[in-house]
Structure 1
Amino acid sequence: MYFKLSARNVKRSFKDYFTYFLTLTFAVCIFYSFNSLSASEVMTTLNASQAEMIKAFTMLLSGVSVFVSVVLGFLIMYANNFLIRRRKKELGLYMTLGMSKYKISRIIVVETFFVGIISLAVGLLLGILVSQGLVALTVSMFKANIEQFTFVFSSEAMLKTILYFGIIFLMVMIFNSVVISRYKLIDLLTAAKKNQSLKIRKTSTSIVLFVFSIILLAVAYAVIMKYGLFESNIVWTCVGLGALGTFLFFMSLSGFALNMIQKNKNVYYKDVNMFVLRQINSKVNTTFISMTIICLMLFFTIGVFSTGFSFKASMEKNIEKMTPYDASLYTKADEDGKVQHIHDIMQHLKVDLDEYGEHHSFTVYKADKSVKDLLAPYEDDAVKFADSNLPVIKRSDFERIEAMQGIEPIDFNDEEVVLLSNFEVFQDAFDRFTEDHKTLEVNGKEYDIAHQKVHSFAYKTEFNSEGVLTAVLPDEAVEGMEPFLSVVNINYDDNQKEHDETLYKVLDESDVLWGTTKTIILDSSVGSSTMIVFVGLYLGIVFLISSAAVLALQQLSEASDNIARYTVLKKIGVTRKGINKAIFGQVFIYFMMPLALAIVHSIFGIQVVNKAIMVAGSTSVLVPSLITALIIVIVYGGYFFATYTGYKSIVK
């Protein structure tokens, strides 16, 4: 009997369960999709370096999934609590008819089980479909060469999803039983007549808090815009100020906004605006904490969606400039300041460079002045120069490595110095330096700066340049300078994979040899940026759904509690169209309040991230921002429409 009653209740209350069911389905779909990435057969075709990145990637996602499951667990508990509140009167009738709390708990448990099984099944089916595109996107972002794409199904991800959500549903069932056991019959039957306690703050207090919140937000914006993301202490201080400002903003908003609107009689007394504003005021006055959390989650989501792919593109933008050779190996000066020639080391390691292809070895020297001494006057908030000696290479070596890159040689004479750098972010400082200085003194001799510019050039393949700035001088000018690197650049004839594997082993076994290959840099850069983007997308989607679901449930709960108030509106002559308009306005304003402030936060946040992105190469965030807006409209707007429709159905 209880089984049939539970099934009938779920069917009859489908409109009440729809938002709950929708949220559960989305949660299961997202959870399965991101945890199934490692199951694709195409992942096994990646090279060793890519496979290591995929392994680290999936481990990171597994750790993030634990956090996500906690967030979704709280969301599901919150949604379930709404359903229990919505059905207090129904549960009271069951008790009036003589049904014990234990039997009522059994009905609720079975209903929860039904909804859980259905949403789990539908969510897994959607997740399997979504995961196909997600795996394809992952392979594309890792820049892997895949000839054939196969269907992906991960039994491990499915079992993990069932386990995590099974635990969540079990907790929900226990929670429901505990809650029902504490209810009294009189509380259930009179639940609709009880008003939520409302703490009214003085208008003057609200105004003071509102002004203070604006000041805190303005300070946070100004400081983070000035110092950027490179000063961690300042960043976390700004985050704290921003969070506190957001909290005070919503805490004071109801009293402040209502007072301001009341002064405009034409707006306040038009149609049923007074009723709508009072409804919103009372709700915000009791939910400002959740409003703050939702606003911050939306800010994170907008920021990640708008800058994530741009950040990835900017990290990978300069890979070609960073990797002009298939491999570069080098040795450094020892404690006595002596540098062993790279060829001697390679011979000792029994590595024949002629077998690899074209190669050229050379020495890098130290000038008598530091880069910081030269460029310190041109530092700004985005650029800080390291205090290292200016590296110098001979003209003859420079011409050889130019030829290996296959580029047009830079024309200069023996009375000139060529300045090189592969750091695009410093270009403005370089331009100002060369405008002010037509010559450069090195080791007591004055040289004209060739072409009055710093040329974009990398003299070896590497993750990070040994120096921000490098000078090319005539061969005789380096006599007496202290050497600090012996370098060999290699361009493979063929067998790239085989040569890479051999050099990996050589580098791993040697304690005096350093270097890297183009493959390592490419895989590392692509892998790192992909991990950052996917974790951001994972959390961003979860936060977006959680934010929209909480707002929807709060408004639907408000509708359940305020049926009598809308009945009064009907009795005093408000038409159905007028009531629907009031509902639309109330739900729209409620959804827009946290989103609007989150957009304001994002305007400043995206600018700050753009400045940081310029370190790896500037890129546009216009297209990602438009895609973000589309996602917000679909997901957030979808929840808004479902809430508006459900609200109308409840008060009808």
Structure 2
Amino acid sequence: MMYSKLSLRNVKRSFKDYAIYFLTITFAVSLFYSFNSLTAQQAMLKLSNSQEDMVQDLIYTIGIISIFISTVLAFLIIFANSFLVKRRKKELGMYMTLGMSKFNISKILVMETFFIGLVSLLVGLGLGTILSQGLSLLTAALFQVDIQEYTFVFSTTAMLKTILYFGIIFLIVMLFNVIMINRYKLIDLFIANKKNQQVKLKRTSTAIGVFVLSLLLIGSAYFLMLKYGLFKSMNLLWTSVGLGSIGTFLFFFSLSGFLLNIAKKNEKLYYKNINIFLLRQINSKVNSTFISMTIICLMLFFTIGVLSTGFSLKNSLEKDLTVTTPYDSTLSFFKYEESVENLEKKLEELNVKQYGDNITFKEYYSDESISSYLKGYTDKQAESVLEGKASAPLTLIKRSSYEGLARLQGKDPVNLEQNEVLILTNQKDMKKTMKRFVDNNKSIKINHKEYPLSGFQFMSVRTDKSAKDTMIVALPDQAVSEMEPSRISLNIQYEGEANKADQELYNLIETYNKNADKNTYLLGMTKTLVYEDATGTSTMIVYIGIYLGIIFLISSAAILALQQLSEASDNKVRYDLLKKIGVTQKEVNQSIFKQIFIYFMMPLSLAIIHSIFGIKVVNRAIMSAGESNVFFPSLLTAGVIIVVYGGYFLATYSGYKSILKK
């Protein structure tokens, strides 16, 4: 009972000084609960069958991600806890001096951890319940669905999951505390704050060499990503990640070896006010925290990158849908062993023309490849599209089919002369290449016959999930009369209710493919399904990005804050000495502000530089999916970082001054 009261008193006494620790755990619990409460939120949303399947996939993915996040949070809480114990070494040494056994000291720490965990869980779950209400609105907006009827959302499953995960984390923290206390000697507890950190790299020349090597490694990572992109090779991608990570580690590892010596050379800066004290404080801190600096920098890089590009990718995927879905639905048969006549007959037997205006058209393959025509006219964007399609044959359609497809889309077809041909593409990255090709060629040779070239038009010939029509040529009808079609398709614009037609077509396609033989397979796609699939995919990216990004941002800021606050008491004697030799309180406060500001900005600055290159690489990949605009998402990301990261910075500054005043 006595130990319980002592533990509770210690928690109350240290709550103000270490409010950041409590708040960080509380925010982590609230985020963990709210994102795992998606099952309860789903009941509020008016979802179609396909969207319900996507939400289930999202719930499963978040469950997997939550395991990873709980591991990150476990390391964060253990890390933070170790600093709190370090802060109280003198107090624990006093307990030991008074005759208290290590077992009883461990018992006190275990009880304190239990109280902290209990309060954090209760407050975090309450805050998470409120946050999940707003998350429901975000979910509805991302899936572009209406909320059927607002109901208060509370997920018992998410609550139990949160209690289980964080309960395990705090059990590990308790065990960690017991092991740590048993390893301490009494002398360590009393002189811990007097132990100076040894410089890892004592020779300045060695430190500078390591620093230059770090820049070379980071530069190599940038070069590989800018040159080859994200999807060239997984080996190249992981090589770049490895080089960048090692380079970041060596960057912070080398700083303490020469940073102070370089500052000394600028006497005007070094001897101004109390900069000599300030610079030594920063140098000592970097020397002892370069590993955590590296991890924080990489987490911030991830946060900036994913928050800046997540919404951009969502907008890009959904903006391109107007191009790839010109018809309400498309049904296609590919030719395997059966004749096209039989496939055309089967298409008629499906009786799908009843749903609205429609057109049936056939596609043919020429003897030439697409790349053979475009060689010498491509740019980097076009090359990325054509990569892996070097031997892809040129697709042909009849001119009458083109004219019918254009009219079904509500467009006026291009007027062509008797033997003129028209190039079609629906890939935006191919526009400039096609224009160069058309501007430099008055004719095009197809299957050993020359045709006058009218130009090119940007349009799709079917409804599909992505823009796949790299290069299609509309030929005079007689030019393909003796060719064997490779595919037959039917495009429909509904006249009646879209939802009813979609559902009937889904059922028809599913039934047909279940009973069809291996030689035929009916492909079907509707505009509704494409939009739902795109919004589902992009929403999953945004959800995971926000979830991981905010957790990483909070973790990074919390670690930096706790590192500074844990040193505040140790530095109290130093600051008292400064005051005795005439340093004013204002100068002391300025020194504290500069120290914390520089310490917070070091990992953030390198993370921003990483992000500039990273966003550029991701932006290129996004451009292949559609238009990209990272300006507004980047502004939003900057705002989040200023609020969260800046908030932790100000809280740390305030807490640091408060500790020094005691």
Q: How does 1:84-483 map to 2 (within 5 A)?
A: 84-232=85-233, 233-335=235-337, 338-346=339-347, 351-384=350-383, 385=386, 386=389, 387-450=391-454, 452=455, 454-464=456-466, 467-483=469-485
1:624 aligns with 2:633: yes
Residue range with higher mean Cα deviation, 416-425 or 178-187: 178-187
Partner of 2:542: 533
Q: Check whether the contact 1:388–1:467 (CA below 8 A) recurs between aligned residues.
A: no
Taking the aligned partners of 2:459 and 2:41, their CA distance within structure 1 comes to: 40
| SS of structure 2 residue aligned to 1:411 | coil
Taking the aligned partners of 1:444 and 1:103, their CA distance within structure 2 comes to: 92
Taking the aligned partners of 1:41 and 1:529, their CA distance within structure 2 comes to: 17
Taking the aligned partners of 1:33 and 1:414, their CA distance within structure 2 comes to: 64
Q: Check whether the contact 1:342–1:361 (CA below 8 A) recurs between aligned residues.
A: no
| CA deviation profile, 1:394-449 (whole Å, cap 9, x unmatched) | 12222222222122332222232111111112212222222221221223333332
Q: Check whether the contact 2:201–2:254 (CA below 8 A) recurs between aligned residues.
A: no
Over aligned residue pairs, what C-alpha RMSD do you find?
Answer: 1.9
**Alpha-carbon shift at residue 464 of structure 1 (Å):** 4.1
| SS of structure 2 residue aligned to 1:314 | helix
TM-score (norm 2): 0.94
| CA deviation profile, 1:597-643 (whole Å, cap 9, x unmatched) | 11111111111111111112222111111111111111111111111
Counterpart amino acid of residue 549 in structure 2:
G
Partner of 2:590: 581
Counterpart amino acid of residue 394 in structure 1:
K
| SS of structure 2 residue aligned to 1:362 | strand
Taking the aligned partners of 1:550 and 1:498, their CA distance within structure 2 comes to: 55
The 1:523–1:184 alpha-carbon spacing in structure 2 relative to 1, beyond 3 Å, is: same
Taking the aligned partners of 1:289 and 1:382, their CA distance within structure 2 comes to: 39
Taking the aligned partners of 1:163 and 1:400, their CA distance within structure 2 comes to: 61
Taking the aligned partners of 2:251 and 2:195, their CA distance within structure 1 comes to: 28
Taking the aligned partners of 1:14 and 1:466, their CA distance within structure 2 comes to: 59
The 1:183–1:207 alpha-carbon spacing in structure 2 relative to 1, beyond 3 Å, is: closer
Q: Check whether the contact 1:414–1:473 (CA below 8 A) recurs between aligned residues.
A: no
| CA deviation profile, 1:196-218 (whole Å, cap 9, x unmatched) | 44434211011111122222222
| CA deviation profile, 1:317-356 (whole Å, cap 9, x unmatched) | 11121111121111112258x4345442235xx5222332
| CA deviation profile, 1:356-406 (whole Å, cap 9, x unmatched) | 222221211222322111113233443332222211111222222222212
Q: Check whether the contact 2:225–2:617 (CA below 8 A) recurs between aligned residues.
A: yes
Residue range with higher mean Cα deviation, 425-434 or 64-73: 425-434
| SS of structure 2 residue aligned to 1:415 | coil
| SS of structure 2 residue aligned to 1:16 | coil
Counterpart amino acid of residue 56 in structure 1:
D
Q: Check whether the contact 1:44–1:51 (CA below 8 A) recurs between aligned residues.
A: no
Counterpart amino acid of residue 209 in structure 2:
V
| SS of structure 2 residue aligned to 1:419 | strand
Counterpart amino acid of residue 31 in structure 1:
F
Partner of 1:489: 491
| SS of structure 1 residue aligned to 2:461 | coil
Taking the aligned partners of 1:564 and 1:625, their CA distance within structure 2 comes to: 43
Taking the aligned partners of 2:195 and 2:260, their CA distance within structure 1 comes to: 24
Counterpart amino acid of residue 408 in structure 1:
D
Residue range with higher mean Cα deviation, 101-110 or 361-370: 101-110
Q: Check whether the contact 2:363–2:487 (CA below 8 A) recurs between aligned residues.
A: yes
Partner of 2:39: 38
| SS of structure 2 residue aligned to 1:329 | strand
TM-score (norm 1): 0.95
Taking the aligned partners of 1:149 and 1:473, their CA distance within structure 2 comes to: 56
The 1:190–1:247 alpha-carbon spacing in structure 2 relative to 1, beyond 3 Å, is: closer
Q: Check whether the contact 1:327–1:491 (CA below 8 A) recurs between aligned residues.
A: yes
Counterpart amino acid of residue 411 in structure 2:
I
Q: Check whether the contact 1:86–1:557 (CA below 8 A) recurs between aligned residues.
A: yes
Partner of 2:516: none
Partner of 2:517: none
Counterpart amino acid of residue 239 in structure 1:
V
Partner of 1:80: 81
**Alpha-carbon shift at residue 246 of structure 1 (Å):** 1.2
Residue range with higher mean Cα deviation, 76-85 or 433-442: 433-442
The 1:400–1:228 alpha-carbon spacing in structure 2 relative to 1, beyond 3 Å, is: same
| CA deviation profile, 1:517-563 (whole Å, cap 9, x unmatched) | 21221111111111112112111111111111111111122223322
Taking the aligned partners of 1:544 and 1:245, their CA distance within structure 2 comes to: 21
| CA deviation profile, 1:282-330 (whole Å, cap 9, x unmatched) | 1111221211111111111001111110011101111121111121111
The 1:318–1:341 alpha-carbon spacing in structure 2 relative to 1, beyond 3 Å, is: farther
Taking the aligned partners of 1:154 and 1:166, their CA distance within structure 2 comes to: 18
| SS of structure 2 residue aligned to 1:15 | coil
**Alpha-carbon shift at residue 192 of structure 1 (Å):** 2.9
Partner of 2:615: 606
| SS of structure 2 residue aligned to 1:459 | coil
Q: Which runs of 5+ in 1 are unaligned?
A: none
Q: Check whether the contact 1:226–1:381 (CA below 8 A) recurs between aligned residues.
A: no
Partner of 1:60: 61
Taking the aligned partners of 2:189 and 2:214, their CA distance within structure 1 comes to: 40
Q: Check whether the contact 1:391–1:469 (CA below 8 A) recurs between aligned residues.
A: yes
Residue range with higher mean Cα deviation, 498-507 or 617-626: 498-507
Q: Check whether the contact 1:91–1:104 (CA below 8 A) recurs between aligned residues.
A: yes
Residue range with higher mean Cα deviation, 99-108 or 524-533: 99-108
* Count of aligned pairs between the two proteins: 647
**Alpha-carbon shift at residue 480 of structure 1 (Å):** 2.0
